[in-house]
Amino acid sequence: MDKRVRVRFAPSPTGGLHLGGMRTVLYNYLFAKKQDGDFIVRIEDTDQSRYVPGAEEYIFNCLKWAGLQPNESPLHGGDYGPYRQSERKEQYTQYAEQLVKQGQAYYAFDTPADLEKMRQDFKTEQNPSPQYDHGIRMKMRNSLTMNSDEAKRLIAEGAKFVIRIKMPEHETVTFKDLVRGEVSFDTSVVDDKVLLKADGMPTYHLAVVVDDYLMKISHAFRGEEWLPSAPVHVLLWKYLFGLDKMPQWAHLPLILGPNGKLSKRDGAKFGFPVFAMNWTDPKTNELTEGFKEKGFLPGAFINFLALLGWNDGTEQEIFTKEELIDKFSIERVHSGGAKFDYEKAKWFNHEWIRKTEVGSLKSEVRILLNETGLTGIENPMLEKVITLVKDRCTLLTDFYDQSWFFFKAPDNWDVDAVKPKWSEDKKDFFLSYIDKLSTISNWQLATLEESFKTLATEKNIKPGDLQLPFRIMLVGGKFGPPVFNIVELLGKDETINRIKKALAVF
RNA sequence: GGCCCGUUCGUCUAAGGGCUAGGACACCACCCUUUCACGGUGGUGAUACGAGUUCGAAUCUCGUACGGGCUACCA
């Protein structure tokens, strides 16, 4: 009896894909997978003036990176195409005309200047932004205020016109929202939205209803910013296809930045990404940072995004994608907006790096090191290094800071940290230690540490006083994993070389 | 201005009429560590306010305040 679950993500290709958009994708995806349904991506490109080249491809790249692949889309095909609204232009006109015939919509011939004049003329203190609504429409140039012959004549003459919905005056539209329960609106406070634009393209309002119908969408999830226009969509469903065919709605809470609505600016200002992947605006060349390039694992990204406004009722916080699919339910999504906390997002990533196996991290880390000029790294060495430092890395990009010295000798040293306590005795110790190291055949952590301590005792120096200089000789500064772990991985020749080189400077 | 949505530690949240309002991030302290981290243990910290219903309210109702969204031939 229940129809097949089909959900859609419907972005407009106008720029980067931010956290809110990605979370909408995620919830759609999880919901669909859980019910064994279809996840569809439909490109809402009805506004040619806002079209941005590359944005569509970028969106699909983000979905691919996050592992949220659609079943149907302009890229993946499907039985309900085309999946770009610009390619469906012809489909919408008939429905708009049908509404006019049914008396639920009308032609309007007002020019942009007319509309501007109306807004000025009717602007008052109480009503700073007058709407084209039931109170105003009889004062404008439309098929309601002229006789039908004149409207027909104007259209025949090629006059520019739009089709507007004729909102009823005092009806209450009520619908059930999966995250908020019942929501009602008085139709008299919503304006006569344009359905079909002068260029023949539909607006979002018409297109979303027609396409959701034609694509047999069963559940429609979108951002909370759509809630105020929901009554228009509900009415359109009622007039065109019947309320019984209408998808179930869920208006998702907004993701907020430190000062309200999350924006690109917040990212730049507070130093965190807001887009899934790097996005360069083709017009301004402005680069907005993405979570991928910042060093996030896709699993961690999805994980923290899912928890921004949803939880499974237990205290579990780390979820794999499979677990999320298994546990997700739209009813447990919060109705309140969530402020994005970058610190917590990083914590998720840290947890994910820790739990991800070395083998899965290898190629990412290799690419990262390559980009900084560290090439030709052998696999076994790379694996040992990752194992040693992964617990210290919050972001993938931390692997560089935590490990470059395994692949490249330092060329300057934190001498200020050494000099004040440096002495001939210590120099003598390291000279002897070089000899001792060259005789060691069992190059292992315990042996190395033991030999160091023994020699120090023989020379009457506290081993602790020697460890810091030793570390600085090897890596250049006061950082890195435990000293003898570094020595072990560096190997005999490299360790001796580094001591010699540093001794010349100290 | 109007309409709609929302409000539990600084942040994300649990508790759907009944234990001392629980967890996580962040922060602080201690432990571990002769670098820095990780880690471990503990701590500070919240039901916006005011009424009402009730034996009993974070939870239900109303009002107020505050926050957010919308108010385009953009989505």
Please state the ipTM of this predicted complex.
0.94
Give the separation between CA A504 and CA A427, rounded to whole angstroms. Answer: 10
* Residue A11 one-letter amino acid: P
The separation, in Å, between residue A337 CA and nucleotide B7 C1' comes to 10
pLDDT at position A2, please? 59
Tell me, rounded to whole angstroms, the distance of Cα A267 from its chain centroid.
12
Protein A44 CA to nucleic acid B16 C1', in Å? Answer: 39
Q: Which of residues 12-51 of A touch strand B (CB under 7 A)?
A: 12, 14, 44, 46-47, 50
**Whole-number distance in Å between A294 CA and B23 C1':** 28
A183 CB neighbours strand B below 7 A: yes
The mean pLDDT values, 10 residues at a time, for chain A of 506 residues are 86 94 97 97 94 95 98 97 94 96 96 95 91 94 92 94 95 93 91 96 98 97 95 97 96 89 85 94 92 96 96 94 96 93 96 95 94 92 95 95 95 90 92 94 91 93 92 94 95 95 91
Burial (Cβ within 10 Å: 0-12, 13-18, ≥19) of residue A363:
exposed
> Nearest nucleotide to A308 by CA–C1' distance?
B12
Q: Would the Cβ of A11 be found within 7 angstroms of any atom in strand B?
A: yes
Active site (annotated) includes residue A264: yes
For the CA atoms of A148, A151, A152, A157, what is the dihedral angle to 10 degrees?
160
B strand bases under 7 Å from protein CB:
1-8, 10-16, 22-26, 33-39, 67-75
Residues 6+ apart with CB under 8 A from A214: A80, A91
Q: Is A56 near strand B, with its CB below 7 A from some atom of it?
A: no
Catalytic residue among A264, A292, A294, A321: A264
**What integer pLDDT is reported at residue A148 of this predicted model?**
84
For residue A77, report the phi and psi dihedrals to the nearest 5 degrees.
75, -170
A242: Cα separation from own chain's centroid: 35
- What predicted TM-score, i.e. pTM, was given to this entire model? 0.94
- Strand ranges of the sheet holding A260-261, from the earlier edge strand across to the other edge: A260-261, A255-257, A338-339
- Its CATH class, for the domain covering A88-205, is alpha beta
CATH annotation of A6-76+214-261: 3.40.50.620
Proximity of residue A88 CB to strand B below 7 A: no
- CATH code: domain A409-506 is 1.10.10.350
Going from N- to C-terminal start, the domains of chain A cover: 6-76+214-261, 88-205, 409-506
Spanning CA of A366 to C1' of B27, the rounded length in angstroms is 35
